[in-house]
Amino acid sequence: MNIQLALDRLSIEEAVSITRKVAPYIDWIEVGTSLIKEFGMESVRSLKRTFPDKKIVADIKTFDNAVYEFELCFSAGADIATVIGAAPLVSIEACLEVANRHGKQVMIDLLNTSKEQLDVLSKYEDVIVCAHLSKDQQERGGENGNSGLHVPSFPGKSVKVAVAGGITIDSFTKIIKEGNPHVVIIGSGITKADNPMDAAKTFYEMANQYKEHNHE
């Protein structure tokens, strides 16, 4: 299990500063969609340059123009880039081709993806699929807390599962017990905490306790 720190609604300097404080307790660093939209690929380059040993996720949420956008992300130092699961299959397959050429990975964000599209996506191997409760759902009452966030089962033999969306210390245990995801993505649960380092350490210790209990 990996803890992915999601960095959103921050400046690049703020993102670097927070990450420095919590770096020992996280595995992957997500350059959030808002950072990429506001600051472009410099946000990806800055995080990779500052934390070269961490896996960098560019949460670009590609829907179209796949080759161009994924080339941008990987050229800037990203190890993983994201594509929307509801995107045209030709775009998703283009993302996979670019990632394979660079020796990188694709994360497919399942936000608003239909069951029919999920069935098609199940044919892909060596991808990460992300169950995602959106920011708007969290903030505008679409779901209470993260009661709508569940760890999906996915038939692909080498598919890894990530979960994201308003994850707190209280909900973390339920999520990892429910499906033992490969990646748990935590944003404001760390970045907006009174003490981000203490919060990250708590998530880290809980994850390790669970892994030890389950002999991972």
pLDDT for the residue numbered 193: 96
In terms of pTM, does the model score above 0.85?
A: yes
Distance (Å, rounded) from C-alpha 197 to C-alpha 205?
A: 12
Burial of 160 (0-12, 13-18, 19+ CB in 10 A): middle
Mean pLDDT of 39-48: 98
pLDDT for the residue numbered 214: 64
Mean per-residue pLDDT over the chain, rounded: 89
Confidence of residue 122 (pLDDT cuts 50, 70, 90): confident
The answer on pLDDT for 30 being more than 60 is yes
Q: Supply φ then ψ for residue 132, to 5 degrees.
A: -135, 120
pLDDT for the residue numbered 146: 46
Q: What is the pLDDT of residues 2-15, one digit of tens each?
A: 999 999 999 999 99
Mean pLDDT of 45-59: 98
Q: What is the pLDDT of residues 145-155, one digit of tens each?
A: 444 555 666 66
**Beta-carbon neighbour count of residue 75 at 10 Å?**
12
Distance (Å, rounded) from C-alpha 6 to C-alpha 91?
A: 24
- The lowest-confidence range among 66-75, 90-99, 135-144, 197-206 is 135-144
First to last CA, the chain: 9
More confident residue, 52 or 111: 52
**Helix boundaries (H) for 23-134:** 33-39, 41-50, 66-75, 89-102, 115-121
Mean pLDDT of 171-180: 81
pLDDT for the residue numbered 47: 98
The answer on pLDDT for 84 being more than 90 is yes
For the chain, domains (ranges, CATH) are: 2-213 (3.20.20.70)
* H or E segment and range at residue 4: strand 2-7
Distance (Å, rounded) from C-alpha 198 to C-alpha 14?
A: 18
Mean pLDDT of 60-77: 98
Closest CA to 67 of 43, 96, 45: 96
